Amino acid sequence: MGVRRRSKVLLAMSGGVDSSVAAVLLKEAGHEVVGCFMRHGDDTDEVAAVSGGAAAEAPAMGHQGCCSVADACDAKHVAAILNVPLYVLNFKREFGRVIDYFVDEYNRGRTPNPCIRCNNWLKFGRLDDYARSMDADFVATGHYARVTHDGESWLREGVDRHKDQSYVLFGTPRTMLSRMLLPVGHYHKDEIRRIAAEAGLPVHDKPDSQEICFVPDNDYMHLVRRRTPQRVEAGPILDREGNVLGRHDGHQHYTVGQRRGLSLSLGHPIYVVEKNADTNAVTVGSASDTFVGGLIATETNWLVDPPSDPDFACHVKIRSNAEAKAAEARVQGDRLEIRFAQPQKAVSPGQAVVCYDGDRVLGGGWIDHAVQVDGETPVTPLRSEGEASSSVRS
C-alpha cells in the first residue's frame, strides 16, 4: 500500500467481504484500525460507539442494500472477530443530499451516478472530517482501486480489472489522496474471498451488492415518482425527424441507449437516442444513431497537475463498467471536450467521463451532452510517468 509506518486508520465497514478483508489487511500491515458503519436512515444520535471490537446494536433501517440491518450485524460480527472497535455513524442528513441529487438528475433528463457523489460527499468528505476529529492518519475503504504513495499520491485502477472501481473515485479531492488507503485494490476478488475464509470471517461467501443502496429493489422510478409525482408525466416518443411514434409514461423511465421498455412495434429494433426534459419528449432511432464522436463535460476534477497544454491524448471511460477507449481531450477551464478515436455508443448525460494514462486516473468531469465531431484537432500525446509531459504534468 506504500505506507510503512504504523498509522491510525478509519475504515468504512459495510458488512461486505471487501471492507472486512480491508480490515484484515490493514491490521496485518500493523495499523491501528477503527471501523465505522455508515447509517443512512435513522434519527438517533449521530454516533454510537462501543470499543474493543463490539458495536452497539444497529437500529432498524429497513432493507437498504449495503446499509441494511443484516449488513450492520455483519459489520459488528467481523469487528468483534478482528478485535476492531466499531463506530456507527448517522449520515441520514448527508445521505439525503445524495438521494435528492439522484431524483433531481432524473427529472432533468439525465442519468445520475449516486455512487460517485456518495464517495465525494460522504466517504472521502464527511467521513474524512470525522477521521480528522479522532486524529486518524488515513481513511480506508474496500474499493477495488489503488492509491500509491511514492512521494506523490496517485489514484490507479485496481489489479482486478473486472472489479475495478477507480471510475467512481475520480471526483475525490486531490488533497485527499495522501490520506486514502485502498488495500483490497491490490488483489483479485477470489484472493479477497480466500483471505476472508482463512481469517474465519462469516462474510467470506457473502454475495456482492448489485443494487443502489437506497433503491434495493432496483425500482428507481418508484422513488422518483414518490418524491416528485408532479414531475412524472406522459409525453411523446419521436423519431429523428420529429414525427410522433407513440407515448411514454415519463421521460425518467429511459436512458440513452436503452432498447427495452419502449412499447413500440416498428418491425425493427429502436433505441433511445435523446431525451428532452423541457418538452418531455423521448427521441428514438436505430442502433447506429446511438453512436457519437465525442462529448462535452463540466464540473471537472483533476488528480494530477492541471493540463499545461489544452489538448492531450488519453483513454477514457464513459461508464463504470466500460473499457477505457482511446480519445483526444481538450481542457478549457472547467470544460472538458472529448473526441473518441472511434465512435462510442450511448453517451449518457449525467454520467462521468474519466481520463486515464495507463492505469493512472488523471481526472474527469460530468457529461453534459454528446456531440458529433467534425474536422481535425491536433493533440499532444501523454508520455509515461517517468518522462516530462507538456500536457498533464505528474
Catalytic residues: 118, 213
Q: Which three cell numbers stand for residue 307?
A: 493540463
- DSSP state letter for 89: E
Q: What is the 3-state secondary structure (H, E, C) of 292-312?
A: EEEEEEEEEEECCCCCCCCEE
The residues, any chain, with a CB within 8 Å of residue 94's CB and separated by 6 or more, are: 121, 122, 126
Q: Which three cell numbers stand for residue 238?
A: 419521436
Residue found under cell 445521505: 95
Residue closest to 379 by CA, chosen among 338, 334, 343: 338
Orientation of helix 17-28 relative to helix 189-198, angle to 10°: 70
Measured between alpha carbons, how far is 175 from 349 in angstroms, rounded to an integer? 27
Measured between alpha carbons, how far is 313 from 137 in angstroms, rounded to an integer? 36
Measured between alpha carbons, how far is 372 from 245 in angstroms, rounded to an integer? 25
Measured between alpha carbons, how far is 189 from 316 in angstroms, rounded to an integer? 24
The residues, any chain, with a CB within 8 Å of residue 308's CB and separated by 6 or more, are: 390, 391, 392, 393
Q: List residues bridging with 296 in a β-sheet.
A: 337, 369
Q: Which three cell numbers stand for residue 233?
A: 408525466
Report the alpha-carbon angle 161-25-128, nearest 5: 85
Please answer whether residues 26 and 34 qualify as being in contact, where contact means their C-beta atoms are separated by less than 8 angstroms.
no
Coil, helix or strand at residue 225: helix
Please answer whether residues 32 and 8 qualify as being in contact, where contact means their C-beta atoms are separated by less than 8 angstroms.
yes
